[in-house]
Amino acid sequence: MKKSLLAIAAMTAFAGAAQAQSSVTVYGILDVGFVGSAYNGTSVAAGAANTGNADAKGSISQKQTTAGFGQSAESTSRIGFKGNEDLGGGLSAVFTMELGLSPDSNSYAYTAASGNTGAIGTPTAFGQINRQTFVGLNKKGLGTATIGTQYTPLFDVQSITDAAGNNNLIGNAVYSSSLQSTGGTFNNGLQPFAGTVDKQSLDAVSGAYTTRASNALKLQSDNFGGLQGQLYYAQVNQTATQTGANFAGGTTASYGPGGVNNNTAFGANANYVWNKLQVVAAYQQLRSFNPAASLAQTAAGSTSTLAGGTADSFGNNMNDSQVYAAATYDFGILKAYGQYITRKAFSTQDSTYGTSRSAYQLGVRSQLTPVISVYATYGLGKSSYYQAGTAYANFRTTQLGTDYNLSKRTNLYVAYGSANQSSNGTIGTGGVTGVSGMNYAAGIRHTF
């Protein structure tokens, strides 16, 4: 009996020790409140419905306001799981799985384009299903290597050097934000970037920069004397031989071998902190190469030509480079922020089709009392569209906000954002010439 009790005690102690070597943490954010918006835009469209002439152009003015209880104005709602297992010798296994939440909706329309799968209208609280999912190894004193769907180098340093904390309201010149709430919240054209560059698993949507990519390897160093660095590489490649029939004669023409999904992304960042000064920089580039799919036949179907893209789309062959630099300084009573971002994309089959976007933003944040903080930002930027010397847009952005901390995990907030865009011609898929818009929100955010 004594031996049995001793064996049980030993096994229990061993199991407890093994369990202590690994841990899983559940974390997340729930952000809900009242959200409103106003949008005022002028576009140019085919005039058939306006003038009776399909070849004519007519000016269409669009105004829209929304108001209602929504979600994720200050921070995108999410739930995540992260774990760490001690492998000994300073080596540990790590993982993170983070899912988006939509607390204001009982259904979500899944689309193939969004990368989600499932039946349209399936009741769920999940919005963007996969925010992050990766696993890797950490070596104490060296760094971490992970593989999976992960934030890009630019996002990692931009998100920690933004005075407004990357909220989802209109009015941030250096962050790709798009608030979705009851009734819709519009920021069409307010972060101008012509043509969506969404290539398979490389999540490069229109905006200031690419937030995340799947199939990515990330190497993150430890902190060495205030300096940290990161390397990043993502790849989705497939090669195939394609054949097809001409439109007219019906004869088979060989398209030849080519990448069906040749998508890559690479980048790096650096983060240096010295006393009250922080300086960061990042570079990343996305490439899509698909020469076989870019072969397009003429109307007669007799020949095949390279399709390099259109004014609003770079086709299947594109190059997208993004650069970010920022500095912050803590003066004590307030913290100052300076940010710069630029993005250039063009068709590799026809470089006359291209887009560029650059913006500057200044911000301040102050902790007025132990529980009340305020922030303000102001940004300026310019986008050029289609071809050099053609349409461009100038835009200005502003954000103001305050947080009242009820505890370390719960806060109330009030925020306002606005943006104004002017152009010398028609830009973007919708033919927008000028846009102004604003957001306001008041809500409660809980982190766990």
Find tokens 């698993």 and name the residue. 201
Q: Alpha carbon 190 to chain centroid distance? A: 15
pLDDT score recorded for residue 59: 52
Spatial CA neighbour of 166 closest among 420, 407, 401: 401
Residue 42 near residue 432, CB atoms below 8 Å = yes
pLDDT at 29 over 90: yes
What the block records as the tokens of 360 is: 């500057």
Where do the structural domains in the chain lie, given as residue ranges?
A: 32-447
Q: Identify the residue with better confidence: 101 or 52.
A: 101
Render pLDDT for 202-255 as a digit per residue (tens, 0 to 9). Answer: 222 346 888 888 889 999 999 999 999 999 998 877 666 555 544 444 444 444
Under 8 Å between Cβ of 127 and 100: yes
- Residues comprising the chain, all counted: 448
pLDDT score, position 205: 33
CB 199 within 8 A of CB 210: no
Element (H, E) at 51: helix 48-51
Q: Across residues 409-430, what is the average pLDDT?
A: 78
Looking at per-residue pLDDT, the higher value among 28 and 344 belongs to 28
CATH fold label, 32-447: Porin (2.40.160)
Question: Token digits for 400?
Answer: 């103001």
What confidence tier does 394 reach under pLDDT thresholds 50, 70, 90? confident
* Burial class of residue 388, CB neighbours in 10 A (0-12, 13-18, 19+): exposed
**Residue 275 gets which letter from DSSP?**
T
Asked if residue 374 lies in contact with residue 416, where contact means CB atoms within 8 angstroms, the answer is no
Query: What is the share, in percent, of the chain residues with pLDDT greater than 70?
Result: 60
